[in-house]
Amino acid sequence: MSRSLLRCLAAAVTVAGALTVTPSAALAHGGPTPVVVDTARGHGNVVSFTFDDGPNPPDTLHLLAVLRKNHVKAVFCLVGDQVKAHPEVVRRIAAEGHTLCNHSLHHDNLSLLTPEQVTADLTETSTLIHQAVPWANIAYFRAPYGSWGQSPQIAADLGMQPLGWRFDIEDWVPPGADVLAQRIRDRLTPGAVILMHDGGGDRSQTVDAVAQVIPELRAQGWRLTLPLRRG
């Protein structure tokens, strides 16, 4: 038996213990890997939108309305503290068919923590998400600041695919919605996972930029898909 298969089996057993998924079911789906994915599903002009640091009403609710109107599904990387504060918004995100991503409990730099501390952090965050949405599938994990440390393997063992990004739009200091929209146009490449923020401050400009850009991308033949599940 190969080492990678052994590792896979070990991960599947861990997933089975944590989420009551049988090892055979986990293996049948391949299971997550520790590879940090930054690529959208599909071929050609595909792109994935991902939003970090929420839930953060009212911006998250406005963003959900924009995505709903345009029939776009995105990934929301949720911070445990925010989930605790706004569980009803997490329920809305999941009910509208978006994909959930664990973005740690307090948005700490996980590379400074021990593996045991990272495991506890990710597990507690997922528990908070499941308290808000018991049926939620938490498909991805994204490390705050992209400071991965040992978290990709830990996330994979917990059943979550580590999710990176090709580019961000530097929306943490809002420069105006038009500037943000232009950054998306300028930086876009086929297959990109884009990092944006619906939390961590006033993100109304990000929401406006997304509303501006989606119809343009569609008109140019781009398809908005989810990120790859496996590396």
Cα angle 111, 130, 168; round to 5: 45
Q: Which is nearer to Zn ion, 53 or 157 (CB)?
A: 53
Residue 64 one-letter amino acid = L
Clarify whether 52 is annotated catalytic: yes
Q: Which is nearer to Zn ion, 101 or 192 (CB)?
A: 101
Which residue reads 């930054």 in tokens? 38
Distance of closest approach, residue 197 Cβ to Zn ion, in angstroms: 7
Clarify whether 106 is annotated catalytic: no
Q: Which residue among 52, 53, 59, 171 is the active-site one?
A: 52
Cα 158 to chain center, whole Å?
Answer: 15
Distance, CA of 28 to CA of 43 (rounded, Å): 24
Q: Which is nearer to Zn ion, 22 or 172 (CB)?
A: 172
Closest CA to 139 of 18, 48, 45, 226: 226
Distance of closest approach, residue 107 Cβ to Zn ion, in angstroms: 6
Q: Which is nearer to Zn ion, 1 or 173 (CB)?
A: 173
Distance of closest approach, residue 137 Cβ to Zn ion, in angstroms: 21
Closest CA to 65 of 228, 214, 211: 211
- Per-residue DSSP letter, 189: -
Distance of closest approach, residue 22 Cβ to Zn ion, in angstroms: 33
Site of interaction with Zn ion (CB under 5 A): 52-53, 144
Q: Which residue among 62, 86, 98, 197 is the active-site one?
A: 197
List residues with catalytic annotation. 52, 197
